[in-house]
Amino acid sequence: MDDPAHPERSADRTGHPDRRDRVESVDRPHRPHHHPHPSDVPPAPGRTLIGRSRELRSVADALDAALDAAGGRGQTRVVIGEPGIGKSALLSAVAEDARARGIRVLSARGAESERHLSFATLHDLIRPLLRHLDALAPGHREALSGAFGLTVADSRPELFFVALAALELVADQCAERPILLSVDDLQWVDAASRDVIEFIGRRLASEPAVLVVATRPDPGRSWDLGNAPGVVVETLGALDDAASHDLLRRRAPEISPADRDRVLTEAAGNPLALLELPLAAPRSSPAAAHPDIAPLTTRLERAFADRLPDLGALPRLLVLLAALNDSQSLAEVVRAAGIAVGRPVRADEIDGAVELALLKTDGDVLTFRHPLVRSAVLQSAGAETRRSAHRALAAALADHPDRHAWHRAAAAPGPDEAVARIVEEAADRALEHGAPSSAETWFEKAAELSEHDGTRGRRLLRAAEVAFQIGNPADVHRFMARARPLQLDPTERGLFAFLEGAFDDGTPGDAQGVQRLVDSAARARDDGEPEVAANLLVGAAIRCWWGDPGQPIRDGLLAVADSLPLPQDDPRLLAGWAVGGGLERHRHVVAALARWSERSGGDADPDAGPGSAPDLDPAAGALLARAAFVCGEFERTLTFSRPAADGLRRQGRLGVLANVLVLRTFAALYLGRWDLMETAADEALRLSSETRQPVWEACSGLAKANLAGLRGAARLSAELLAVPERVAVSTGNESVMNGAQLSKGLRELGRENPAEAFWQLRRMLDPRDHAYHAVQQLWAVDYLAEAAVGAGEVDRARELVTALEPALALAPGIGNQRAMRFAQALLAEDAEAEAAYEAAHELAWTAPPWYRARLDLAYGAWLRRKRKGTGARIPLQAAHAVFESLGAVAWAERAARELRAAGVKDQVTVISELTSLSPQELQIARLAAKGLSNRDIGQQLYLSHRTVGSHLYRIFPKLGITSRSQLHALLPPSEQGE
């Protein structure tokens, strides 16, 4: 789809490293210009499509917003409709309207024959902008150039980094003039391009750009693009009776009344049917006057297929080659036809198909007038005829390795190892260019062509591994089912076992599932594959965390881990011991984490920044962060997760990054770092949704529910908790169910309802309750005690906390110990309270302000009750100041009441200005305060630099400042640390 308004919009459809400069010139004799089919004529500027005024107005509003002089706002429109319903005509009308307004139009169209070519449609879409690649940051330029095969990248670009580079390229050009991105037939866009297009569509809210995509309905896929701001999904329905009559009258004014009524009935408001069925009417027999029970799409295909007999043998071959070719090049079709018939073929021999309104030509570009024409051509040809045409195309495309491989594969009548090898090589090239979705398709095809079980199983496992990396569990399970009965070598068996549980990070495994992984790890160990064994044990351990399979199985897991010839501080072993072994190994893990922390610069500043642990692989850092979190070492969770997150951002591994951000979120919860908690939870929620990780998305929502409850927003907290709780119950995830109980308890504390809070929190500690979790219960004992004091349940709480003391003796994590010391102080008898508070304060000196403030509030309240009002004022005032800054309304009001009772008058609660910022705004403000440029911030958060600038534009008035230089002074040190 060319853009005649812009000369740089070339007609060739490159977009894949194997497609560059592939549209060649051909010598065509002069022939009369053919009369266009009525539906070929694009709407003239200002002309309204019949029956589509509402849809055109909707998109026009989006274009108006992009043109807004006060700072254009972008939107995404997803148009869903059945074949022939008028999606392409709508997009054409929108493009004409945009050009008339001075908006730059970039367009592309998916083609079923091109779905295997990675980044094909994306290249079509943004090709006019590639002249500006040099303006991008080096990393973005290299990622995009490597994806398109313009350069050879030093390392494999990650898909999301390619997507960010494409977004930056579009955002840069939006600064010159607004842009309309138009993508038709999204259902046939290659997977890599589709992922990038959807990534861009979720991030246009702050750009003067509009994305309009058209697609057919797909019950198995949601097109809401993650419910991102500015995304509108519309269904294009049938024309009403008046519009149908109007269109038919214009299309076929001389049609007989009988045929007119038949066409109106059969078309049922479908515009393509109203245009095409009249052409079929003269061919129809009298029996055709009776209603046809075949689906409308079938009838339309039949109407197109009925024209094929009017063509000679060679034009029909040319049409078939065009339908099978993964290009719009007329030259390639002509060359393939010459190979097939053994003699030179002229380009004008296809003119008959043009005259029959099956094809359109524009110079050397050949397109079908509608996708249903292509499908009609393919269905009318026999299987051997299609294979013969594919062989001719493969020969014609010998200089294009990927396209040659695809046509060789399509021409193979059965397994062919030689073809399977070249298809597997194409899969490897797709991975090199950062297109794992395309690589998955290639690996699957290679497996189908494999002659031996061993090679078939290996290729299926490679397909499954790629599907796992891109977050596609359905494909992983499908490939695994096919590989299960095949012969696999020891390494492949280990990979098979790992992939079987690959999507169980968030799903509890039953005893048999965990045992299978442990047994597979033992076999991998015995086969001399300790690395594979360690990875399998991590998967088994994670299953144990989400749902306890029982002590015998956990003991077996530990026994295999202990037997591996790996260093005792290997991050995989530490994660396996901590997550899967219960409390028994926590002391060893905590000691090992301390050594790791010393290597990475110590614990002085848990959020020191990107300099922490510079030589630690991000994946290893993520494992250490998980081990630290499980052990209650929450400061060290932040120490390890920060550089891990930075590394994962640079690599574009957003799926693992989302997991790490969830760990940071909950570590921040227990540390009282609400600033970090808010921003990490918000980003984790967005990334978990984008990378299709529903359980981690639920965990992110749970964190947001916790924060809302702490701040006294009870209704919002309950709304946010609904989805995580539903996921927890449906999957039997004990960890998330336990977290839901904590959220309910925090919500009731936030609304000053301690009795209900106590009832909710005590369920976390009851082994008979489905929300019980042996480790997580330790992190909530201080909140339980706080609720018990307010509810008058001190004796009952004292029993619960005393029962936990043996477990706490095994769990030296500082978070566990702080929670227990605080609870013991709150619940102590009067004679022991002073000593208990002193013991709690010993652990509070290095604790974050939230913990110290809660301890100060409890201690000050105890002193006041003991009529030591003067001594009570200092801790109460310190606590009140912290609660004010955090926006902890209930705790601030409680501290204010205690202060008034202690004789301090006019104590009021003032909430910090920072609470007026959204989580993403707070995150941007924090990074800007550190001196990062808009581009640097955008690269960290996977936003365009223009979006970052728009956010800052809104942040300054909220904070009462006028420049980014003032942010550093405004944000407290805890905010700047991130």
DSSP string, 244-279: HHHHHHHH-TT--HHHHHHHHHHHTT-HHHHHHHHH
Q: Is the pLDDT of residue 162 over 80?
A: yes
Q: What is the mean pLDDT of residues 421-445?
A: 89
pLDDT grade for 19, boundaries at 50, 70 and 90:
very low
Q: Is the pLDDT of residue 220 over 70?
A: no
**Distance, CA of 429 to CA of 445 (rounded, Å):** 15
Residue whose structure tokens are 């409890």: 858
Q: Is the pLDDT of residue 348 over 80?
A: yes
- Asked if 279 and 303 touch (Cβ cutoff 8 Å), the reply is yes
**Distance, CA of 659 to CA of 688 (rounded, Å):** 8
Q: Is the pLDDT of residue 828 over 70?
A: yes
Q: Is the pLDDT of residue 34 over 60?
A: no
Q: Is the dihedral of CA 579, 582, 586, 589 positive or negative?
A: negative
Q: What is the largest CA-CA distance in the chain?
A: 108
- Beta-bridge partners for 76: 211, 231
| Average pLDDT over the chain, rounded to an integer | 83
Own/partner contacts of 768-775, CB < 8 Å, gap of 24 or more, are: 770/734, 770/737, 771/734, 771/737, 771/738, 771/740, 771/741, 772/734, 772/738, 773/734, 773/735, 773/737, 773/738, 774/548, 774/582, 774/583, 774/807, 775/582, 775/583, 775/630, 775/811
- Asked if 170 and 128 touch (Cβ cutoff 8 Å), the reply is no
pLDDT for the residue numbered 5: 32
Count of CA atoms in the C-beta half-sphere (13 A) of 739: 35
pLDDT grade for 604, boundaries at 50, 70 and 90:
very low
201 contacts: CB under 8 Å, gap ≥ 6? 76, 78, 211, 213, 225, 228, 231
pLDDT for the residue numbered 700: 93
**Distance, CA of 615 to CA of 596 (rounded, Å):** 12
Q: Is the pLDDT of residue 16 over 70?
A: no
Using N-to-C axis directions, what is the helix angle for 586-599 and 618-630, rounded to 10°? Answer: 140
**C-alpha to C-alpha distances, 151 to 49, 156, 501, nearest whole angstrom:** 44, 12, 37
Alpha helices (H) in 811-888, listed in sequence order: 814-827, 830-844, 849-865, 869-886
pLDDT for the residue numbered 420: 96
Distance of alpha carbon 896 from its chain centroid, rounded?
A: 44
- Asked if 211 and 204 touch (Cβ cutoff 8 Å), the reply is yes
Least confident interval from 558-567, 591-600, 698-707:
591-600
In eight-state DSSP terms, residue 329 is: B
- Beta-bridge partners for 75: 210
Q: Is the pLDDT of residue 291 over 60?
A: no
Query: What would you report as the CA-atom Rg of the chain, rounded to the nearest whole angstrom?
Result: 32
pLDDT for the residue numbered 6: 33
Q: What is the mean pLDDT of residues 355-374?
A: 82
pLDDT for the residue numbered 589: 95
pLDDT for the residue numbered 328: 85
Q: Is the pLDDT of residue 299 over 60?
A: yes
Q: Which residues of 357-386 are buried (b: 16+ CB within 10 A; e: fewer)?
A: bbbbbeebbbbbbbbbbbbbbbebbeeeeb
Q: What is the mean pLDDT of residues 329-350?
A: 90
Q: Which residues of 203-219 are buried (b: 16+ CB within 10 A; e: fewer)?
A: bbbbbbbbbbbbbbeee
In this predicted model, which residue has the larger pLDDT, 220 or 465? 465
pLDDT for the residue numbered 69: 56
pLDDT grade for 170, boundaries at 50, 70 and 90:
very high
- Burial (CB < 10 A; 0-12, 13-18, 19+), residue 773, is buried
pLDDT grade for 40, boundaries at 50, 70 and 90:
very low
- Beta-bridge partners for 360: 367
- Burial (CB < 10 A; 0-12, 13-18, 19+), residue 881, is middle
pLDDT grade for 26, boundaries at 50, 70 and 90:
very low
- Asked if 85 and 236 touch (Cβ cutoff 8 Å), the reply is yes
**Distance, CA of 490 to CA of 93 (rounded, Å):** 59
pLDDT grade for 339, boundaries at 50, 70 and 90:
very high
**Distance, CA of 535 to CA of 516 (rounded, Å):** 14
pLDDT grade for 633, boundaries at 50, 70 and 90:
very high
Q: Which structure tokens are listed for 38?
A: 């009525």
Q: Is the pLDDT of residue 703 over 50?
A: yes
Q: Which residues of 160-173 are buried (b: 16+ CB within 10 A; e: fewer)?
A: bbbbbbbbbbbbbb
Least confident interval from 3-7, 93-97, 765-769, 898-902:
3-7
- Burial (CB < 10 A; 0-12, 13-18, 19+), residue 786, is buried
Kind of pairing, strands 365-368 and 359-362? Answer: antiparallel
- Burial (CB < 10 A; 0-12, 13-18, 19+), residue 749, is buried
**C-alpha to C-alpha distances, 436 to 162, 440, 555, nearest whole angstrom:** 12, 6, 38
User: What φ, ψ does residue 234 adopt, rounded to 5°?
Assistant: -130, 140
User: What φ, ψ does residue 30 adopt, rounded to 5°?
Assistant: -65, 135
**Distance, CA of 75 to CA of 61 (rounded, Å):** 10
Q: Is the pLDDT of residue 46 over 90?
A: no
Distance of alpha carbon 164 from its chain centroid, rounded?
A: 13
pTM here is: 0.74
Distance of alpha carbon 600 from its chain centroid, rounded?
A: 31
**Distance, CA of 770 to CA of 586 (rounded, Å):** 24
Most confident of 23-27, 243-247, 569-573: 569-573
Q: What is the mean pLDDT of residues 724-734?
A: 89
pLDDT in tens, 930-958: 788 888 888 888 888 888 888 887 888 87
